[in-house]
Structure 1
Amino acid sequence: MLDNGTYLYEKMIQDSWRLGSGHSALSVYSIGRSVLGRELILLRCGCGPRHIGINAAFHANEWITSALLMRFVAELAEEYKREGGESEGLMREFCQTTTLWAVPMVNPDGAELVQRGLDSVHPLWRDKLLAWNEGRNDFSAWKANIRGVDLNDQFPAYWEEECKRRGVAGPSPRDYPGPFPLSEPEAVSMERLTESLRFDAVVALHTQGREIYWNYRDYEPPHAEKLAEKLGYASGYKPIKLSGSDAGYKDWFISQYRKPGFTVEVGLGENPLPAETFDGLYTELKPLLLEAMLL
């Protein structure tokens, strides 16, 4: 899935359209564009009445989650297509009872910046980005989108509280919630998609910590903790009741719909997680994602 230790936007686009053309159970859509005009891709796999939303790479230096989610979607579609074998009945059951909606790269501009540096952006942006990055040419720690806004601090769920907590007044590599909620096109696209599809549950893939955050200010449904325990049992990750965090996608989803929402922190280490850990990360994540299909 990775290409020379990277997973660039162009590779994700190629993989998406290849999957869409080769599998009857999978469709590809565009849900909007990033600040720099890159299409935000949505993959649909299955046709069941239960609708699960899974997204990846809200944060630029967590781009490896895009490749992890794409591998899961590819395997799901391929095993559904394959005739015979023990997996067929299980995968067909998943795809007939659940529709998976996957957004593999919420923050394509940021993911490109982390992996390719300033070569990935128009010259008009380079001076701004260098200033926001305190003059450093190394963008490997960058979490934000290309305008220096943390996309997972962008949602109208106690956004003002998150601004006070973060204390970041302007564009930055991380932790700037933006000038107002949903100021960024990537966040708007995710909000509109969610409003349209009204998922039964959502999972947001991040790195790192091997933890599962399942609550938000007591808005979560009563069975959310039990569901988190199931995800934890499948993966070995630890369910955590989190406090002191607002304005995230999962937070907004829970508060808006009172349905289960989960942030999954994949793996351990320092972001960006090394490409050589990809296979191990996928081995522990895949059972969690299969369990999520049953939420």
Structure 2
Amino acid sequence: MINERFTSLEDLKKGYKDNILNIHYLLGIANLYSEQSRMEVIGKTARGREIPALLLTNTTTPDEEKISVLFNCAHHANEVISIEHCYDIIYSVLSRPKEYQEILNKMKIWIVPIVNPDGARHFWHVSNLMGRKTGYPGSGPVNDKLNPGVDINRNYPFYWGKAGGGYSSSNPSNYFYRGPSPGSESETKAMMDLANRERFAASISYHAYANCLLIPYSIDSLNNPEPDVAKEIGKKSLLL
């Protein structure tokens, strides 16, 4: 990690980001590129840490007719490389203004680099064995010091608790602990509130495990829509 002041987009390439650098950089970007971006705090964690998001769009034009899309990273904060995917999008868009001008005129690109700030704090400042879950001890046993909290990627209400024992657990000590109830966690609620407000046309969540691209719906009992736009986009993405 680094502690330099944000002066240009090139700073985004210099190292991994913890919570402090993430907020520092997003504020710097919003100030330096005020006509193409703005920062918004979409919620707070159970421990009171802010969950910042960056909106990339032409801020001088009305938002009403724009299409919203979402890119998010670090639901599992120990997957630090995922955060760099979000920052790569920011860098790509803002470093090529002419190429993306028309897109920013018509779209709102929301980016949440660290969905799980509490987990990020534990990963960077307590143990690199932590960070997948939120680290909030109120969600797990008192003696569960190395694995407290909720896997917020398993906490969303859609088919909550139906992914099978290998990928979702009701045991608070399990790495896949889904929480006490659907959408129970502060981070999950923040993402859901943003989604309900923006009605995203598309959303991509970056992770650093399994080397695969998952598209909806990955549940055997559900039928995918026809035409399956997400599947076609996924196929094309793998060819890039």
TM-score (structure 1 length as normaliser): 0.64
Q: Which sections of structure 1, spanning at least 5 residues, go unmatched? A: 81-87, 118-137, 235-295
Residues 213, 153 of structure 1: alpha-carbon distance in 2 compared, 3 angstrom cutoff: same
Kept after mapping to 1: 8 A contact 2:150/2:179: yes
Q: Which sections of structure 2, spanning at least 5 residues, go unmatched? A: 1-11, 59-64, 137-148
Aligned to 2:101: 92
Q: Secondary structure at the match of 1:212?
A: coil
Q: Secondary structure at the match of 2:216?
A: coil
1:164 positional shift = 5.0
Matching of residue 40 in structure 1 with residue 46 in structure 2: no
Q: Distance in 2 between matches of 1:224 and 1:168?
A: 28
Kept after mapping to 2: 8 A contact 1:33/1:185: yes
Aligned to 2:189: 188
Superposed CA offset, 1:45-64 (max 9, x none):
02472211110000121122
Residues 16, 167 of structure 1: alpha-carbon distance in 2 compared, 3 angstrom cutoff: closer
Aligned to 1:210: 211
Which residue identity does 2:77 align to in structure 1?
A
Q: Distance in 1 between matches of 2:205 and 2:68?
A: 15
Kept after mapping to 2: 8 A contact 1:66/1:104: yes
Superposed CA offset, 1:202-244 (max 9, x none):
000111233211121324552221111111111xxxxxxxxxx
**Range that drifts further, 167-176 or 55-64:** 167-176
Aligned to 2:155: 154
**Range that drifts further, 64-73 or 202-211:** 64-73
Aligned residues: 205
Kept after mapping to 1: 8 A contact 2:168/2:178: no
Kept after mapping to 1: 8 A contact 2:150/2:172: yes
Aligned to 2:84: 67
RMSD: 2.1
Kept after mapping to 1: 8 A contact 2:85/2:206: no
Matched-pair identity in %: 24
Residues 110, 141 of structure 1: alpha-carbon distance in 2 compared, 3 angstrom cutoff: closer
Structure 1 stretches of at least 4 aligned residues deviating more than 6 Å after TM superposition:
none
1:165 positional shift = 5.1
Q: Secondary structure at the match of 2:162?
A: helix
Matching of residue 12 in structure 1 with residue 22 in structure 2: yes
Aligned to 1:225: 231
Aligned to 2:129: 140
Kept after mapping to 2: 8 A contact 1:162/1:177: no
Q: Distance in 1 between matches of 2:161 and 2:88?
A: 37
Q: Secondary structure at the match of 2:108?
A: strand
Q: Secondary structure at the match of 1:19?
A: helix
Q: Distance in 1 between matches of 2:181 and 2:160?
A: 8
Q: Distance in 2 between matches of 1:167 and 1:160?
A: 6
Q: Secondary structure at the match of 2:82?
A: helix
Aligned to 1:201: 202
Aligned to 1:106: 115
Superposed CA offset, 1:147-201 (max 9, x none):
2100000111111323755563433361000000111100000011101100000
